[in-house]
Structure 1
Amino acid sequence: MSVWGKLAGVTAGYLVGGIFGAVVGAVAGHYVLDKDDEDVAFAIALIALSAKMSMADGKISNKEFSAFKEILHDLPENELKNVLKVYNLAREDLAGYDTYAKQISSIFQNNLHVLENVVDALFHIAKADGPVNKNEIIFLEKIAGIFGFSAADFARIKASHMAAENDDPWLILGLESGSNLKSAKSQWKKLAAENHPDKLISKGVPRELLGMANEKLAVINGAYHKIEKAHKMKAGSGEI
Protein backbone atom coordinates (compact mmCIF):
# COMPACT_ATOMS: atom_id res chain seq x y z
CA MET A 1 0.00 0.00 0.00
CA SER A 2 1.26 3.50 -0.82
CA VAL A 3 2.00 6.11 1.82
CA TRP A 4 -1.08 8.00 0.69
CA GLY A 5 -3.26 4.91 1.12
CA LYS A 6 -2.04 4.54 4.69
CA LEU A 7 -3.32 8.01 5.48
CA ALA A 8 -6.85 6.62 5.52
CA GLY A 9 -5.98 4.63 8.63
CA VAL A 10 -4.18 7.58 10.14
CA THR A 11 -7.08 9.96 9.67
CA ALA A 12 -9.44 7.36 11.10
CA GLY A 13 -7.17 6.64 14.06
CA TYR A 14 -4.44 9.05 15.08
CA LEU A 15 -6.29 12.13 13.91
CA VAL A 16 -9.74 11.47 15.37
CA GLY A 17 -10.79 14.68 17.07
CA GLY A 18 -7.80 16.48 15.61
CA ILE A 19 -5.29 14.66 17.85
CA PHE A 20 -2.32 15.31 15.59
CA GLY A 21 0.32 14.71 18.26
CA ALA A 22 0.08 10.91 18.11
CA VAL A 23 2.52 10.89 15.22
CA VAL A 24 4.26 14.18 15.95
CA GLY A 25 5.12 12.82 19.41
CA ALA A 26 7.87 10.79 17.78
CA VAL A 27 9.94 13.96 17.63
CA ALA A 28 9.97 14.12 21.39
CA GLY A 29 11.03 10.48 21.57
CA HIS A 30 7.72 9.20 22.88
CA TYR A 31 8.07 6.09 20.75
CA VAL A 32 10.31 4.68 18.03
CA LEU A 33 9.04 4.78 14.47
CA ASP A 34 9.53 1.79 12.21
CA LYS A 35 10.10 2.41 8.49
CA ASP A 36 6.41 2.27 7.54
CA ASP A 37 5.45 4.62 10.37
CA GLU A 38 8.33 6.89 9.40
CA ASP A 39 7.01 7.19 5.85
CA VAL A 40 3.55 8.07 7.12
CA ALA A 41 4.97 10.50 9.68
CA PHE A 42 6.91 12.24 6.93
CA ALA A 43 3.82 12.45 4.72
CA ILE A 44 1.78 13.92 7.57
CA ALA A 45 4.48 16.43 8.47
CA LEU A 46 4.89 17.47 4.82
CA ILE A 47 1.14 17.92 4.37
CA ALA A 48 0.87 19.82 7.66
CA LEU A 49 3.84 22.06 6.88
CA SER A 50 2.36 22.80 3.46
CA ALA A 51 -0.95 23.71 5.09
CA LYS A 52 0.83 26.02 7.51
CA MET A 53 2.71 27.56 4.57
CA SER A 54 -0.59 28.35 2.88
CA MET A 55 -1.58 30.40 5.93
CA ALA A 56 1.68 32.33 6.32
CA ASP A 57 0.46 35.28 4.24
CA GLY A 58 -2.69 35.61 6.32
CA LYS A 59 -5.08 34.39 3.65
CA ILE A 60 -6.17 31.00 2.34
CA SER A 61 -6.32 30.33 -1.39
CA ASN A 62 -7.36 27.29 -3.40
CA LYS A 63 -4.37 28.05 -5.62
CA GLU A 64 -2.07 27.06 -2.77
CA PHE A 65 -3.69 23.66 -2.37
CA SER A 66 -3.45 23.15 -6.14
CA ALA A 67 0.26 24.01 -5.91
CA PHE A 68 0.61 21.54 -3.05
CA LYS A 69 -0.86 18.78 -5.22
CA GLU A 70 1.66 19.66 -7.95
CA ILE A 71 4.63 18.93 -5.71
CA LEU A 72 3.43 15.39 -5.03
CA HIS A 73 4.56 12.63 -7.33
CA ASP A 74 1.89 10.36 -8.81
CA LEU A 75 -0.73 11.07 -6.15
CA PRO A 76 -3.67 8.80 -7.08
CA GLU A 77 -6.94 10.70 -7.46
CA ASN A 78 -8.66 8.23 -5.15
CA GLU A 79 -6.19 9.06 -2.35
CA LEU A 80 -6.76 12.81 -2.61
CA LYS A 81 -9.55 12.82 -0.02
CA ASN A 82 -7.19 11.40 2.63
CA VAL A 83 -4.54 13.99 1.83
CA LEU A 84 -7.12 16.79 1.87
CA LYS A 85 -8.43 15.62 5.25
CA VAL A 86 -4.95 15.79 6.79
CA TYR A 87 -4.34 19.16 5.09
CA ASN A 88 -7.53 20.67 6.53
CA LEU A 89 -6.89 19.21 9.99
CA ALA A 90 -3.41 20.73 9.95
CA ARG A 91 -4.80 24.16 9.13
CA GLU A 92 -7.02 23.89 12.22
CA ASP A 93 -4.33 22.33 14.42
CA LEU A 94 -2.90 24.58 17.14
CA ALA A 95 0.58 23.06 16.93
CA GLY A 96 3.11 25.46 15.44
CA TYR A 97 4.74 24.88 12.07
CA ASP A 98 8.06 24.35 13.84
CA THR A 99 6.67 21.11 15.29
CA TYR A 100 6.30 19.63 11.83
CA ALA A 101 9.58 21.09 10.57
CA LYS A 102 11.41 19.45 13.47
CA GLN A 103 9.69 16.14 12.71
CA ILE A 104 10.91 16.19 9.10
CA SER A 105 14.38 17.27 10.23
CA SER A 106 14.45 14.43 12.76
CA ILE A 107 13.45 11.81 10.18
CA PHE A 108 16.00 13.03 7.63
CA GLN A 109 18.85 14.12 9.87
CA ASN A 110 21.75 15.51 7.84
CA ASN A 111 20.09 14.56 4.52
CA LEU A 112 20.21 18.00 2.95
CA HIS A 113 18.97 16.67 -0.39
CA VAL A 114 15.62 15.76 1.14
CA LEU A 115 15.39 18.86 3.29
CA GLU A 116 16.17 21.21 0.40
CA ASN A 117 13.46 19.54 -1.67
CA VAL A 118 11.00 20.25 1.14
CA VAL A 119 11.99 23.94 1.18
CA ASP A 120 11.62 24.00 -2.62
CA ALA A 121 8.14 22.54 -2.28
CA LEU A 122 7.14 25.19 0.26
CA PHE A 123 8.41 27.95 -2.03
CA HIS A 124 6.28 26.48 -4.82
CA ILE A 125 3.22 26.79 -2.59
CA ALA A 126 4.13 30.32 -1.47
CA LYS A 127 4.33 31.49 -5.10
CA ALA A 128 0.96 30.04 -6.06
CA ASP A 129 -1.20 33.06 -5.26
CA GLY A 130 1.19 35.83 -6.25
CA PRO A 131 4.58 37.27 -5.28
CA VAL A 132 6.10 35.80 -2.13
CA ASN A 133 5.61 38.37 0.62
CA LYS A 134 7.66 39.29 3.69
CA ASN A 135 5.74 37.04 6.09
CA GLU A 136 6.16 34.06 3.78
CA ILE A 137 9.90 34.72 3.47
CA ILE A 138 10.21 34.85 7.26
CA PHE A 139 8.31 31.55 7.51
CA LEU A 140 10.51 29.89 4.88
CA GLU A 141 13.72 31.23 6.39
CA LYS A 142 12.77 29.83 9.80
CA ILE A 143 11.98 26.43 8.29
CA ALA A 144 15.33 26.43 6.51
CA GLY A 145 17.04 27.30 9.80
CA ILE A 146 15.35 24.39 11.59
CA PHE A 147 16.57 22.14 8.77
CA GLY A 148 20.14 23.34 9.36
CA PHE A 149 20.63 25.53 6.30
CA SER A 150 22.88 28.58 6.59
CA ALA A 151 21.87 32.08 5.49
CA ALA A 152 23.93 31.58 2.32
CA ASP A 153 22.16 28.29 1.60
CA PHE A 154 18.78 29.96 2.02
CA ALA A 155 19.79 32.83 -0.28
CA ARG A 156 20.73 30.30 -2.97
CA ILE A 157 17.45 28.37 -2.61
CA LYS A 158 15.45 31.60 -2.56
CA ALA A 159 17.21 32.81 -5.71
CA SER A 160 15.95 29.83 -7.67
CA HIS A 161 12.34 30.71 -6.86
CA MET A 162 12.00 34.50 -6.88
CA ALA A 163 12.07 36.71 -9.97
CA ALA A 164 14.46 39.39 -8.66
CA GLU A 165 17.00 36.87 -7.41
CA ASN A 166 16.62 34.86 -10.62
CA ASP A 167 18.55 37.67 -12.30
CA ASP A 168 21.68 36.36 -10.57
CA PRO A 169 22.42 32.96 -12.13
CA TRP A 170 25.65 32.73 -10.14
CA LEU A 171 23.70 32.76 -6.89
CA ILE A 172 21.41 30.00 -8.15
CA LEU A 173 24.45 27.83 -8.85
CA GLY A 174 25.95 28.73 -5.47
CA LEU A 175 28.97 30.50 -6.97
CA GLU A 176 30.60 33.89 -6.48
CA SER A 177 29.37 36.36 -9.08
CA GLY A 178 31.73 36.54 -12.04
CA SER A 179 33.37 33.15 -11.50
CA ASN A 180 34.88 31.72 -14.66
CA LEU A 181 32.88 29.68 -17.14
CA LYS A 182 34.80 26.51 -16.33
CA SER A 183 33.71 26.73 -12.68
CA ALA A 184 30.14 27.47 -13.73
CA LYS A 185 30.05 24.48 -16.07
CA SER A 186 31.48 22.16 -13.42
CA GLN A 187 28.98 23.34 -10.80
CA TRP A 188 26.09 23.12 -13.28
CA LYS A 189 26.93 19.50 -14.11
CA LYS A 190 27.25 18.68 -10.41
CA LEU A 191 23.89 20.23 -9.49
CA ALA A 192 22.13 18.76 -12.54
CA ALA A 193 23.40 15.29 -11.62
CA GLU A 194 22.45 15.71 -7.94
CA ASN A 195 18.92 16.79 -8.85
CA HIS A 196 18.17 14.04 -11.36
CA PRO A 197 15.18 12.02 -10.07
CA ASP A 198 17.14 8.75 -9.96
CA LYS A 199 19.92 10.41 -7.98
CA LEU A 200 17.43 12.00 -5.59
CA ILE A 201 15.86 8.61 -4.88
CA SER A 202 19.31 7.13 -4.23
CA LYS A 203 19.94 9.96 -1.76
CA GLY A 204 16.79 9.10 0.15
CA VAL A 205 14.40 11.69 -1.26
CA PRO A 206 10.91 10.18 -0.94
CA ARG A 207 9.15 9.52 -4.23
CA GLU A 208 6.33 11.71 -2.96
CA LEU A 209 8.59 14.75 -3.47
CA LEU A 210 9.75 14.04 -7.01
CA GLY A 211 7.11 16.32 -8.49
CA MET A 212 9.55 19.22 -7.99
CA ALA A 213 12.54 17.58 -9.67
CA ASN A 214 11.91 18.76 -13.24
CA GLU A 215 11.17 22.31 -12.14
CA LYS A 216 14.41 22.51 -10.18
CA LEU A 217 16.43 21.06 -13.06
CA ALA A 218 14.95 23.68 -15.39
CA VAL A 219 16.05 26.48 -13.04
CA ILE A 220 19.58 25.05 -12.77
CA ASN A 221 19.86 24.63 -16.54
CA GLY A 222 18.49 28.12 -17.13
CA ALA A 223 21.04 29.66 -14.77
CA TYR A 224 23.97 27.99 -16.51
CA HIS A 225 22.73 28.86 -20.00
CA LYS A 226 22.35 32.50 -18.94
CA ILE A 227 25.97 32.52 -17.74
CA GLU A 228 27.14 30.78 -20.91
CA LYS A 229 25.30 33.28 -23.11
CA ALA A 230 26.77 36.25 -21.22
CA HIS A 231 30.25 34.72 -21.55
CA LYS A 232 29.86 34.29 -25.31
CA MET A 233 28.66 37.88 -25.69
CA LYS A 234 31.71 39.15 -23.80
CA ALA A 235 33.99 36.96 -25.90
CA GLY A 236 32.39 38.30 -29.08
CA SER A 237 32.90 41.89 -27.97
CA GLY A 238 36.53 41.26 -27.06
CA GLU A 239 36.01 41.83 -23.34
CA ILE A 240 37.54 38.42 -22.50
Structure 2
Amino acid sequence: MAKIIGAILGFLVGGPLLALLGFVVGSFFDRGLGQAMRFNYGAERERIQGIFFDTVFRVMGHIAKADGRVCESEVAQAEAIIAQLGLSGARRQDAIAKFKQGSDSSFALEPQMSDFMGVAKAQPLLRQMLLEALLAMALADGDMADAERDIVTRVAGYLGVSGQEFQRLLDMMMAQRQFHGGSAGGQTSSASDLKKAYQALGVDESISDAELKRAYRKLMSQHHPDKLIAKGVPEDMMKLATEKAQEIQVAYDLIKKSRGT
Protein backbone atom coordinates (compact mmCIF):
# COMPACT_ATOMS: atom_id res chain seq x y z
CA MET A 1 0.00 0.00 0.00
CA ALA A 2 2.74 2.50 0.94
CA LYS A 3 4.66 1.84 -2.30
CA ILE A 4 1.53 2.58 -4.36
CA ILE A 5 0.88 5.80 -2.44
CA GLY A 6 4.52 6.76 -2.79
CA ALA A 7 4.45 6.21 -6.56
CA ILE A 8 1.29 8.28 -6.98
CA LEU A 9 2.62 11.17 -4.89
CA GLY A 10 5.95 11.03 -6.70
CA PHE A 11 4.25 11.17 -10.11
CA LEU A 12 2.07 14.12 -9.08
CA VAL A 13 5.05 16.05 -7.74
CA GLY A 14 7.73 15.29 -10.30
CA GLY A 15 6.56 12.88 -12.95
CA PRO A 16 7.75 9.34 -13.77
CA LEU A 17 11.22 9.68 -12.18
CA LEU A 18 9.91 10.71 -8.78
CA ALA A 19 7.11 8.15 -9.15
CA LEU A 20 9.78 5.42 -9.34
CA LEU A 21 11.58 6.87 -6.34
CA GLY A 22 8.32 7.02 -4.38
CA PHE A 23 7.62 3.38 -5.25
CA VAL A 24 11.06 2.29 -3.93
CA VAL A 25 10.74 4.29 -0.70
CA GLY A 26 7.23 2.97 -0.17
CA SER A 27 8.49 -0.58 -0.64
CA PHE A 28 10.95 -0.13 2.23
CA PHE A 29 8.14 1.25 4.42
CA ASP A 30 5.89 -1.71 3.60
CA ARG A 31 8.68 -4.12 4.46
CA GLY A 32 9.33 -2.42 7.81
CA LEU A 33 5.62 -2.29 8.62
CA GLY A 34 5.26 -5.96 7.81
CA GLN A 35 8.14 -6.86 10.11
CA ALA A 36 6.65 -4.72 12.88
CA MET A 37 3.26 -6.40 12.48
CA ARG A 38 4.86 -9.84 12.68
CA PHE A 39 6.82 -8.88 15.80
CA ASN A 40 5.45 -10.66 18.85
CA TYR A 41 5.62 -8.09 21.64
CA GLY A 42 4.19 -10.52 24.15
CA ALA A 43 6.92 -13.07 23.47
CA GLU A 44 9.63 -10.39 23.65
CA ARG A 45 8.34 -9.11 26.99
CA GLU A 46 8.27 -12.67 28.30
CA ARG A 47 11.89 -13.12 27.18
CA ILE A 48 12.94 -9.92 28.97
CA GLN A 49 11.09 -10.99 32.12
CA GLY A 50 12.91 -14.32 32.03
CA ILE A 51 16.32 -12.68 31.77
CA PHE A 52 15.43 -10.25 34.57
CA PHE A 53 14.30 -13.10 36.85
CA ASP A 54 17.38 -15.21 36.08
CA THR A 55 19.72 -12.28 36.66
CA VAL A 56 18.15 -11.33 39.99
CA PHE A 57 18.40 -14.78 41.55
CA ARG A 58 21.74 -15.80 40.04
CA VAL A 59 23.39 -12.58 41.18
CA MET A 60 21.63 -12.97 44.52
CA GLY A 61 23.32 -16.37 44.89
CA HIS A 62 26.62 -14.82 43.85
CA ILE A 63 26.24 -12.14 46.52
CA ALA A 64 25.50 -14.80 49.14
CA LYS A 65 28.74 -16.57 48.18
CA ALA A 66 30.69 -13.28 48.36
CA ASP A 67 32.53 -14.26 51.55
CA GLY A 68 33.56 -17.65 50.13
CA ARG A 69 30.68 -19.81 51.28
CA VAL A 70 26.90 -19.76 51.57
CA CYS A 71 25.97 -19.97 55.23
CA GLU A 72 22.67 -21.11 56.72
CA SER A 73 21.58 -17.55 57.49
CA GLU A 74 22.07 -16.55 53.84
CA VAL A 75 20.02 -19.52 52.65
CA ALA A 76 17.32 -18.57 55.14
CA GLN A 77 17.50 -15.00 53.88
CA ALA A 78 17.02 -16.20 50.29
CA GLU A 79 14.08 -18.36 51.33
CA ALA A 80 12.53 -15.40 53.15
CA ILE A 81 12.80 -13.22 50.06
CA ILE A 82 11.30 -15.94 47.86
CA ALA A 83 8.43 -16.24 50.36
CA GLN A 84 8.09 -12.44 50.48
CA LEU A 85 7.63 -12.41 46.71
CA GLY A 86 4.96 -15.07 47.03
CA LEU A 87 6.78 -17.54 44.78
CA SER A 88 5.47 -21.10 44.96
CA GLY A 89 5.54 -24.35 43.05
CA ALA A 90 7.64 -24.42 39.89
CA ARG A 91 8.41 -20.70 40.13
CA ARG A 92 9.87 -21.15 43.62
CA GLN A 93 11.95 -24.13 42.47
CA ASP A 94 13.20 -22.09 39.52
CA ALA A 95 14.26 -19.26 41.82
CA ILE A 96 16.13 -21.70 44.10
CA ALA A 97 17.84 -23.32 41.11
CA LYS A 98 18.99 -19.93 39.80
CA PHE A 99 20.23 -18.99 43.28
CA LYS A 100 22.30 -22.18 43.45
CA GLN A 101 23.73 -21.52 39.98
CA GLY A 102 24.84 -18.07 41.09
CA SER A 103 26.45 -19.42 44.26
CA ASP A 104 28.44 -22.02 42.32
CA SER A 105 32.16 -21.32 41.98
CA SER A 106 31.83 -21.57 38.20
CA PHE A 107 29.39 -18.65 37.98
CA ALA A 108 30.73 -15.61 36.12
CA LEU A 109 29.08 -12.26 36.74
CA GLU A 110 30.11 -10.53 33.52
CA PRO A 111 28.35 -12.87 31.03
CA GLN A 112 25.15 -12.73 33.08
CA MET A 113 25.23 -8.94 33.12
CA SER A 114 26.01 -8.93 29.41
CA ASP A 115 22.85 -10.97 28.77
CA PHE A 116 20.84 -8.57 30.89
CA MET A 117 22.24 -5.46 29.21
CA GLY A 118 21.36 -7.02 25.88
CA VAL A 119 17.70 -6.37 26.70
CA ALA A 120 18.05 -3.46 29.13
CA LYS A 121 20.64 -1.19 27.52
CA ALA A 122 17.97 1.25 26.36
CA GLN A 123 15.74 0.68 29.41
CA PRO A 124 16.98 2.81 32.35
CA LEU A 125 13.96 1.89 34.47
CA LEU A 126 14.64 -1.82 34.01
CA ARG A 127 18.27 -1.32 35.03
CA GLN A 128 17.25 0.68 38.09
CA MET A 129 14.78 -1.99 39.19
CA LEU A 130 17.43 -4.71 38.94
CA LEU A 131 19.79 -2.70 41.12
CA GLU A 132 17.01 -1.92 43.61
CA ALA A 133 16.04 -5.60 43.81
CA LEU A 134 19.65 -6.66 44.48
CA LEU A 135 20.14 -3.92 47.05
CA ALA A 136 16.91 -4.94 48.79
CA MET A 137 18.22 -8.49 48.99
CA ALA A 138 21.69 -7.45 50.15
CA LEU A 139 20.12 -5.27 52.86
CA ALA A 140 17.49 -7.84 53.88
CA ASP A 141 19.36 -8.74 57.06
CA GLY A 142 19.80 -5.07 57.98
CA ASP A 143 23.43 -4.85 56.92
CA MET A 144 25.60 -5.21 53.83
CA ALA A 145 29.06 -6.73 54.18
CA ASP A 146 31.99 -5.27 52.26
CA ALA A 147 32.18 -8.31 49.97
CA GLU A 148 28.47 -7.98 49.16
CA ARG A 149 28.85 -4.27 48.50
CA ASP A 150 31.76 -4.94 46.14
CA ILE A 151 29.61 -7.23 43.98
CA VAL A 152 26.61 -4.88 43.91
CA THR A 153 28.98 -2.03 43.04
CA ARG A 154 30.31 -4.09 40.14
CA VAL A 155 26.75 -4.73 39.00
CA ALA A 156 26.10 -0.99 39.13
CA GLY A 157 29.15 -0.47 36.94
CA TYR A 158 27.86 -2.93 34.34
CA LEU A 159 24.53 -1.06 34.43
CA GLY A 160 26.27 2.25 33.73
CA VAL A 161 25.53 3.67 37.18
CA SER A 162 28.23 6.02 38.48
CA GLY A 163 29.73 5.61 41.94
CA GLN A 164 28.04 8.81 43.09
CA GLU A 165 24.62 7.73 41.81
CA PHE A 166 25.05 4.28 43.34
CA GLN A 167 25.80 5.80 46.75
CA ARG A 168 22.78 8.10 46.39
CA LEU A 169 20.50 5.14 45.60
CA LEU A 170 21.95 3.12 48.48
CA ASP A 171 21.40 6.01 50.92
CA MET A 172 17.82 6.39 49.67
CA MET A 173 17.05 2.69 50.08
CA MET A 174 18.57 2.51 53.56
CA ALA A 175 16.46 5.52 54.56
CA GLN A 176 13.33 4.06 52.94
CA ARG A 177 13.72 0.94 55.07
CA GLN A 178 12.95 3.11 58.12
CA PHE A 179 9.42 3.54 56.77
CA HIS A 180 8.73 -0.11 56.02
CA GLY A 181 5.32 -1.22 57.21
CA GLY A 182 3.97 2.32 57.33
CA SER A 183 5.84 3.63 60.36
CA ALA A 184 8.70 6.00 61.09
CA GLY A 185 10.08 4.18 64.08
CA GLY A 186 7.42 5.07 66.62
CA GLN A 187 4.18 6.84 67.40
CA THR A 188 5.80 10.29 67.26
CA SER A 189 8.02 11.70 64.54
CA SER A 190 11.45 12.94 65.61
CA ALA A 191 13.90 15.22 63.82
CA SER A 192 15.82 12.06 62.90
CA ASP A 193 12.70 10.56 61.30
CA LEU A 194 12.21 13.72 59.25
CA LYS A 195 15.82 13.71 58.10
CA LYS A 196 15.42 10.09 57.01
CA ALA A 197 12.23 11.00 55.15
CA TYR A 198 14.10 13.56 53.03
CA GLN A 199 16.86 11.02 52.39
CA ALA A 200 14.25 8.44 51.38
CA LEU A 201 13.07 10.78 48.64
CA GLY A 202 16.62 11.71 47.66
CA VAL A 203 16.05 15.43 48.23
CA ASP A 204 17.50 18.19 50.40
CA GLU A 205 15.54 19.63 53.32
CA SER A 206 15.63 23.08 51.67
CA ILE A 207 13.67 21.86 48.65
CA SER A 208 10.51 23.82 47.76
CA ASP A 209 7.05 22.28 48.09
CA ALA A 210 6.67 22.17 44.29
CA GLU A 211 10.05 20.48 43.80
CA LEU A 212 9.25 18.04 46.59
CA LYS A 213 6.00 17.07 44.90
CA ARG A 214 7.79 16.55 41.56
CA ALA A 215 10.43 14.34 43.20
CA TYR A 216 7.73 12.30 44.94
CA ARG A 217 5.68 11.86 41.77
CA LYS A 218 8.75 10.79 39.81
CA LEU A 219 9.60 8.10 42.37
CA MET A 220 6.02 6.85 42.47
CA SER A 221 5.89 6.74 38.67
CA GLN A 222 9.11 4.72 38.57
CA HIS A 223 7.54 2.12 40.86
CA HIS A 224 4.12 1.93 39.18
CA PRO A 225 3.31 -1.77 38.51
CA ASP A 226 1.82 -1.25 35.03
CA LYS A 227 4.87 0.68 33.84
CA LEU A 228 7.32 -1.85 35.28
CA ILE A 229 5.51 -4.86 33.80
CA ALA A 230 5.42 -3.13 30.40
CA LYS A 231 9.19 -2.63 30.62
CA GLY A 232 9.80 -6.32 31.33
CA VAL A 233 9.89 -6.64 35.12
CA PRO A 234 8.28 -10.00 36.08
CA GLU A 235 4.88 -9.71 37.74
CA ASP A 236 6.01 -11.72 40.75
CA MET A 237 8.67 -9.06 41.43
CA MET A 238 5.99 -6.40 41.80
CA LYS A 239 5.73 -6.89 45.55
CA LEU A 240 9.16 -5.31 45.99
CA ALA A 241 8.08 -2.30 43.92
CA THR A 242 4.79 -2.03 45.81
CA GLU A 243 6.51 -2.09 49.19
CA LYS A 244 9.02 0.49 47.94
CA ALA A 245 6.17 2.76 46.83
CA GLN A 246 4.53 2.41 50.26
CA GLU A 247 7.79 3.40 51.99
CA ILE A 248 8.10 6.45 49.72
CA GLN A 249 4.48 7.39 50.47
CA VAL A 250 4.99 7.24 54.23
CA ALA A 251 8.15 9.37 53.99
CA TYR A 252 6.39 11.93 51.80
CA ASP A 253 3.39 12.13 54.11
CA LEU A 254 5.71 12.75 57.07
CA ILE A 255 7.41 15.63 55.26
CA LYS A 256 4.09 17.14 54.22
CA LYS A 257 2.83 16.93 57.80
CA SER A 258 5.95 18.68 59.08
CA ARG A 259 5.44 21.45 56.52
CA GLY A 260 1.75 21.79 57.24
CA THR A 261 0.81 21.12 53.61
Residue 158 (structure 1) shift: 0.8
Residue 163 (structure 1) shift: 4.8
Give 1:216's aligned amino acid. Answer: K
Structure 2 residue 176 is matched with structure 1 residue 148? no
Structure 2 residue 210 is matched with structure 1 residue 200? no
* Residue 16 of structure 1: aligned partner: none
* Residue 69 of structure 1: aligned partner: 82
* Residue 56 of structure 1: aligned partner: 66
* Residue 44 of structure 1: aligned partner: 54
Structure with the bigger percentage of helix: 2
* Residue 115 of structure 1: aligned partner: 127
Q: Separation in 2 of the partners of 1:130 and 1:165?
A: 9
Residue 192 (structure 1) shift: 1.1
Residue 67 (structure 1) shift: 4.0
The number of residue pairs the alignment matches comes to 199
- Give TM-score, length-normalised by structure 1: 0.69
Q: Separation in 2 of the partners of 1:202 and 1:187?
A: 22
Give unmatched runs, 5+ long, in structure 1: 1-33, 236-240
1:126-165 deviation line (CA, Å, top 9, x unaligned): 1233412222222222211211122343233212332599
Q: Give secondary structure in 2 for the equivalent of 1:162.
A: helix
1:42-78 deviation line (CA, Å, top 9, x unaligned): 4332221111122235553223212441564x53324
Q: Separation in 1 of the partners of 2:112 and 2:59?
A: 6
Q: Separation in 2 of the partners of 1:193 and 1:227?
A: 19
Instruction: Detail structure 1 runs of 4+ shifted over 4 Å in the superposition.
Output: 36-39, 163-167
1:4-41 deviation line (CA, Å, top 9, x unaligned): xxxxxxxxxxxxxxxxxxxxxxxxxxxxxx83655544
User: Of residues 165, 172, 188 in structure 2, which corresponds to 1:160?
Assistant: 172
Give unmatched runs, 5+ long, in structure 2: 1-42, 179-194
Q: Separation in 2 of the partners of 1:44 and 1:204?
A: 13
* Residue 212 of structure 1: aligned partner: 240
Compare CA radii of gyration and give the structure with the larger one. 2
Identity %: 23
Q: Residues 68-107 of structure 1: matches in 2 within 5 Å?
A: 68-70=81-83, 72=85, 75-107=87-119
8 Å Cα contact 1:114/1:206 also seen in 2: no
Q: Separation in 2 of the partners of 1:203 and 1:86?
A: 22
- Give TM-score, length-normalised by structure 2: 0.65
8 Å Cα contact 2:200/2:248 also seen in 1: yes
Q: Separation in 1 of the partners of 2:175 and 2:145?
A: 13
